[in-house]
Amino acid sequence: MSLSPAFLTSMGNACSHGAPLDDTKPLPSTDPAVEDPDDDGAAVRPWYQRPLPLTPVTRKSAHELTAAEEDRILAAWLRMMRNEDGPGTSRYFRLALIHGGSSWPSTHLAAMQNPVPSYCTHGVECFPNWHRIYMLEFEQTLRRADLENGGDGNIGLPYWDWTRQPEGGPFLPSLAQRLMATNEYDGVPSEGGLFHATFLPLDQQGNQLAPREEDGTLFYKTNPWNSRVDAELRTYCLEWFGVGESLQAYLEMSDPRRAALALDAAPHGSVHVAVGSLGRRERGTEMVGQVPTAGFHPLFWLHHCNVDRAYESFLQTPAGRGAEAAFYANRFLDGREAGFPDGQWGRYEPFGVNPRTREQYAGRDTFDIALLGYSYPPGGLYTPASLQAPRPRGVLLPGSPGPVELAGPPGPVPASAVFRDVVKLKVDGSKALFVYASDADASGGGGLLGWVAGSLGSPREWRPPKSLADQAPEALQALPGFVGAASLFCLPTADVVKCDNCLRNAPTTTASVDITRALAALRIPRERVRLHAVAYDIATKTAMTLEAAGVPQPILSDCSSHVAEEEPTPS
């Protein structure tokens, strides 16, 4: 697999690929995708274009890698980081640049030689499909790097399961921590950690790009991880943003198109924003929370591998088994943009040839991972809660012939805080949305949680702290009445660059967070719940009102999966 010629030409390279796909043609053979290892020209190709072995690879949990497997993947990853022909020519840089391109000012790459466009594929049905090919491109390059290092190429891209923390282990896998702790290349110290001094390309005047933040530190950098930050990230993901709940809501959805939009918003977007929210404490992680720069951070790849695993889990559900037919039926619903110039079912840019079809990778190639050359371990997929809930225990009642199942007390009614129809052009970059609940009746149960009545005076009024801009995420969470956080993983809009996909195909988005357990803990009767929220900007690391962030007020919804209630945005 190789990148498409349009992309490589823009990077000062070239290759060839097949013609655009014709949807009227029958599907090709279902033989697994293979490359010919006996290709006579293989020996003279650069390492990143050599044929791969025919053996399919297994994508394992990054938490469950053996020491030897982790060492091999780390070594292959670092090989990808090395330049091939001067500054900014590593395979890693070229792959990372695909996600956001070089035009956005927030990347600090607008002045680079040979600029590259953005391939934004968010907010549309092909979100998991386009990213599936993106992860495959990275994985195949990783395998080739392993071959270059003397291995057999039989390594898969590991996934980071952000729904759980292994007992006795860290929340962030050791592989990720080791990558972030890289601080030298060939004995030369690296100020940018994983990003060495010539990782970025030259600017148009021939100078080395090395953008710095206001405090003088490099913008592209990684830092060593520590247990305190690890515990914070676990809290952000599992408690604040509720990624486990949003994953289960996604798996239970019945409409494949709406499910794809839900997966994009949460848990996918929530994990991006959760990691990005650490930026005040762990410098460099803020790039994960911003669309233009997310692909550069190593966590991006482990995160998106798990997003692919979630998508594969959905495809195994009753609703998911009809996803391919539904996708084909919807193939003309959205327009043609940089990532899908022939529509969402057509070819995907900027990726190269599928060796199985001898044509450019396309939407129709993304529903059978065995044909793409990888798998997940047996029992390694997520299972919808409705299919794994334990049966109630039976009890013997007088006169009964056997155990009788007794239902337990009903649980709380599912509740979500929903930010509906957020106009992307009004939201300048990714935001974490901190949600609070108050009691509309100050006369009962302590009134407005005691805090609102005692501190703000008015029982029907909620105000954020006066010094809102200075509030860090942990301070926002510590405010009384906190029930959870939603996420908006959005492109910047203050820039002169605009995203055609967002403008035409996905101008609005919806964010939500499950607040069922938090509301139950506050003991506020549902009919008296009032919701409030403030926004935290990932790029500027400042908090603001929803009005300043361009976000509507949240509403209380009975539906645990808000996207199921929403009609798809018309094209």
Taking only the tens place, the pLDDT of each residue in 352-382 is: 999 989 999 999 999 999 999 999 999 999 9
CA dihedral 538, 235, 461, 442 (to 10 degrees): 180
Inform me whether the pLDDT recorded for 569 exceeds 70.
Answer: no
| pLDDT for the residue numbered 459 | 35
Inform me whether the pLDDT recorded for 325 exceeds 70.
Answer: yes
CA nearest to 489, candidates 117, 100, 181, 112: 100
Buried b (16+ CB within 10 A) or exposed e, 335-353: bbbbbbebbbbbbbbbbbb
Inform me whether the pLDDT recorded for 444 exceeds 90.
Answer: no
C-alpha 33/C-alpha 35 separation (Å) is: 7
Q: Give me the phi and psi of 40, to 5 degrees please.
A: -60, -25
**What would the pLDDT profile of 232-249 be if each residue is shown by its tens digit?**
999 999 999 999 999 999
Cα 246 off chain centre by? 13
Confidence label for 55 from pLDDT (cuts 50, 70 and 90): confident
C-alpha 128/C-alpha 110 separation (Å) is: 28
* Least confident segment among 128-137, 139-148, 487-496: 487-496
Inform me whether the pLDDT recorded for 562 exceeds 60.
Answer: no
> For the CA atoms of the chain, what is the radius of gyration?
24
CA nearest to 532, candidates 484, 565, 475, 568: 484
Tokens of 427: 């939201």
**What would the pLDDT profile of 133-161 be if each residue is shown by its tens digit?**
999 999 999 999 999 999 999 999 999 99
Tokens of 158: 């590991």
Max mean pLDDT range (30-39, 70-79, 338-347, 406-415):
70-79
Inform me whether the pLDDT recorded for 25 exceeds 80.
Answer: no
Inform me whether the pLDDT recorded for 198 exceeds 70.
Answer: yes
User: What residues form DSSP beta bridges with 113?
Assistant: none
Cα 403 off chain centre by? 46
Confidence label for 568 from pLDDT (cuts 50, 70 and 90): very low
| pLDDT for the residue numbered 42 | 61
| pLDDT for the residue numbered 185 | 94
| pLDDT for the residue numbered 566 | 42
CA nearest to 355, candidates 44, 28, 91, 129: 28
| pLDDT for the residue numbered 526 | 86
SS3 233: helix
Average pLDDT on 390-407 reads 50
C-alpha 136/C-alpha 505 separation (Å) is: 25
Number of H helices, E strands in the chain: 17, 15
Inform me whether the pLDDT recorded for 498 exceeds 80.
Answer: no
Tokens of 512: 């939500």
Average pLDDT on 547-568 reads 73
| pLDDT for the residue numbered 407 | 52
CA nearest to 200, candidates 77, 79, 81, 49: 81
Inform me whether the pLDDT recorded for 324 exceeds 90.
Answer: yes
C-alpha 236/C-alpha 477 separation (Å) is: 10
Average pLDDT on 463-485 reads 90
Q: Give me the phi and psi of 184, to 5 degrees please.
A: -160, 155
CA nearest to 170, candidates 224, 241, 222, 246: 224
SS3 451: helix
3-state helix, strand, coil in the chain (%, to 5): 35, 15, 50
Confidence label for 281 from pLDDT (cuts 50, 70 and 90): confident
| pLDDT for the residue numbered 23 | 36
| pLDDT for the residue numbered 8 | 54
Average pLDDT, the chain: 85
C-alpha 257/C-alpha 259 separation (Å) is: 5
What's the Cα-to-Cα distance from 405 to each of 125, 198, 412, rounded to whole Å?
42, 66, 21
C-alpha 270/C-alpha 161 separation (Å) is: 14
* Least confident segment among 293-297, 430-434, 499-503: 499-503
Domain boundaries, the chain: 5-375, 416-565
Confidence label for 570 from pLDDT (cuts 50, 70 and 90): very low
Tokens of 311: 């998508």
| pLDDT for the residue numbered 5 | 55
Max mean pLDDT range (16-25, 111-120, 376-385):
376-385
CA nearest to 2, candidates 140, 121, 122: 140
Residue type, 201: P
Average pLDDT on 97-120 reads 91
pLDDT > 70: what percent of the chain? 81
CATH code for the part of the protein at 5-375: 1.10.1280.10
pLDDT > 90: what percent of the chain? 66
Average pLDDT on 518-547 reads 92
Inform me whether the pLDDT recorded for 314 exceeds 50.
Answer: yes
Q: Rounded to 5 degrees, what angle do the CA atoms 139, 253, 275 make?
A: 50
Average pLDDT on 451-460 reads 39
